Amino acid sequence: MKKYIYLALAFLTFSLASCEDVLDDINRKPDNPSDEAISPSLQIPDGIMSTGYTTVSGDMSFYVCSYTEQLVGVGANQLYNAEIRNVSSVASSGTFNNSWNGAYSNILNLKLALAKCEDGGKYYTEVDVRGMIKTLLALNFGVMTDMFGDIPCSEAAVTSIKQPKVDTQESVYNEIFNLLDGAIADFDKASEESIATAGTHDLLYGGDVEKWKAFAYALIARYKLHLMHVDSNAADEALAAAERAKSLGFEGAEITGFTSYASGACNPWAAYWGDRQYAAASKTVDDIMLERNDPRQPVYMTPWMYIGDEVLADEAAVPGSVEDARTVFGTSAGEGFAIPAWLNVYSYPDVESASIHLLSKAELYFILAELKVRNGASYADDLLTAVEASFADYGSFGIALDMSAADYVASLASRLQENALKEVMTQKYLSQCRDEHLEAYNDFRRMDVLGNANDYVQKTNSYNTQNGANRWPLRLPYGNSDVVANPNISDLYGDGMYVFTEKVWWAGGTR
């Protein structure tokens, strides 16, 4: 009898063990492997695309282009509220919540990937990928702290920490430079040891670590430039990094390979305008171009509509005009405004495949030109290269420019002689109308704190001041998900009105 009892117990034990194995596997998907099983090189494509779509060319850029007056918000909607500086919209924690969440989701992906290829990690041999991840992390943290000020960084995207602390902007900048210095060391090691594991997963440079190294130096130049007010060495260090990027042959960091608007796989700006028509060409930009007989003006000011041979909707919208901001494209024949060719998906289908600039060649050379002007050094060659890069970009949308960049720069001689800094910065502003509004926003704040506000583009939107109070946002409000769930953020956010009164640290503020 005991024999049968033992057999029954053995069978029961085996059955329970088998059930436990089955239960362990119930919530596991064979086509959804654990993070540890995924090579960091496979996470690079999403890291690159999310940086372009969400961090650089998402909602933050869509709104900021109104603050910089490089475009005008129209359509009696969200961008209408931005255009008239509606306080409840501009200061709302809900306005940039999607961008906030998207950027931090990308940072999580990149941090998980980085941990696996650090020394001691499973994929520590992927040195080239490690450098790419560090570069992308630096860029994401750079955009986030420039827009929001003090942000979660050291504890951000740490899965065991649900309410990360907020790091000072100064410490975030220190981390940015640590990441970029580490990336450059990784790229050097990858070159020396012929390590190439990224391959086609690298959507920027196809695994070319020398191009990545040039990109890292260009980012150092950008972020050192931002610190000119708070660090007496920043300008010299920015110039040295920019020269290094130049010597390495930096040609820009651009995401390419988009297809059609109809497929949904198109440039985000083309998708934004094609879906919503929330932006129009700005009179601020148009006036600057007309004053200079700028050959890029027909690219910036493409008519939205033709009826037969008649051109309709070919005028620029006025920043801060309530009437213009309420205009809805296409509600009646000809209603609407001119728009840049890179938004005009109906007339210029090539815009669907336009690249996203993470950092353009033009930006690097404008940094060089500005710093050399400030140093009293020769800046002419760098300015010409910057304008040539901008002309090539504008000219990629099927509208021929009727003047060469060299002839155009020559026509600016009197302006450059009168105030070289102002003209260099104005040309940078025009170049960045394409999709680099975040850096133009940084330049407005940087030029102001350096005492050079009059040496830059003058804002015209009358709603920037209301009842004697500033209503031009000095920063963006934190995302609602953290304002609600993280007391470290909610304490800083308060009622959101700080965005009109508190500058970010590098622009003369305290946070």
Residue 368 lies in a domain: no
In what helix (H) or strand (E) does residue 187 lie, and over which residues does it extend? helix 169-192
Q: How far apart are CA 288 and CA 283, in angstroms?
A: 8
Report how far Cα 317 is from the mean position of its chain's Cα atoms: 25
Residue 202 lies in a domain: yes
φ, ψ at 504 (rounded to 5°): -70, 160
Q: How many domains does the chain have?
A: 1
- Looking up tokens 């290829």 gives 117
Predicted confidence (pLDDT) at residue 163 exceeds the cutoff of 70: yes
pLDDT of residue 456: 98
How far is residue 46 from each of residues 54, 86, 108, 133, 360, measured CA to CA in Å? 11, 35, 11, 11, 20
The two tokens of residue 71 are: 């475009």
Transcribe 233-289 into DSSP letters. Answer: THHHHHHHHHHHHHHTT---EEE-----TTTT-S-HHHHHHHHH--EEEBHHHHHHH
Q: Region 445-458: what's the mean pLDDT? A: 98
Highest mean pLDDT among 14-18, 147-151, 302-306: 147-151
Residue 402 lies in a domain: no
Proportion of the chain above pLDDT 70, given as a percent: 91
Better pLDDT: 344 or 349 = 344
Q: How far apart are CA 93 and CA 276, in angstroms?
A: 22
The two tokens of residue 3 are: 């024999």
pTM: 0.92
Residue 389 lies in a domain: no
- Looking up tokens 């001119």 gives 338
Mean pLDDT of the chain: 91
Q: Which amino acid is at 70?
A: Q
Using CA of residue 59, residue 65, residue 71, residue 73, what is the dihedral sign? positive
Transcribe 286-346 into DSSP letters. Answer: HHHHHHTT-TTHHHHTB-SEEETTEEES-SPBPTT-HHHHH--TTSSTT-S--B-GGG-TT
Give the helix ranges, DSSP H, for 27-126. 40-50, 59-67, 78-83, 87-90, 97-117
Q: Region 180-184: what's the mean pLDDT? A: 98
Residue 398 lies in a domain: no
Proportion of the chain above pLDDT 90, given as a percent: 78
Q: Are 257 and 203 in contact (CB under 8 A)?
A: yes
How far is residue 44 from each of residues 49, 105, 111, measured CA to CA in Å? 9, 14, 11
Q: Region 437-457: what's the mean pLDDT? A: 98
Q: Are 46 and 109 in contact (CB under 8 A)?
A: yes
The two tokens of residue 202 are: 């690298």
**Closest to 318 in 3D by CA, of 80, 78, 72:** 72
pLDDT of residue 305: 79
- Residue 281 pairs with which residues in a beta bridge? 71
Residue 2 lies in a domain: no
- Residue 317 pairs with which residues in a beta bridge? 282
Residue 111 lies in a domain: yes
Residue 133 lies in a domain: yes
Q: How far apart are CA 148 and CA 103, in angstroms?
A: 12
- Host domain of residue 180: 43-259
Give the pLDDT band (50/70/90) at residue 8. very low
Q: Are 144 and 151 in contact (CB under 8 A)?
A: yes
Q: How far apart are CA 225 and CA 232, in angstroms?
A: 11
pLDDT digits (tens, 9 = 90+) for 189-213: 999 999 999 989 999 999 999 999 9
CATH number of the domain within which 198 lies: 1.25.40.390
pLDDT digits (tens, 9 = 90+) for 263-322: 667 788 888 888 889 999 999 999 999 999 999 999 999 998 777 777 778 899 999 999
Predicted confidence (pLDDT) at residue 444 exceeds the cutoff of 90: yes
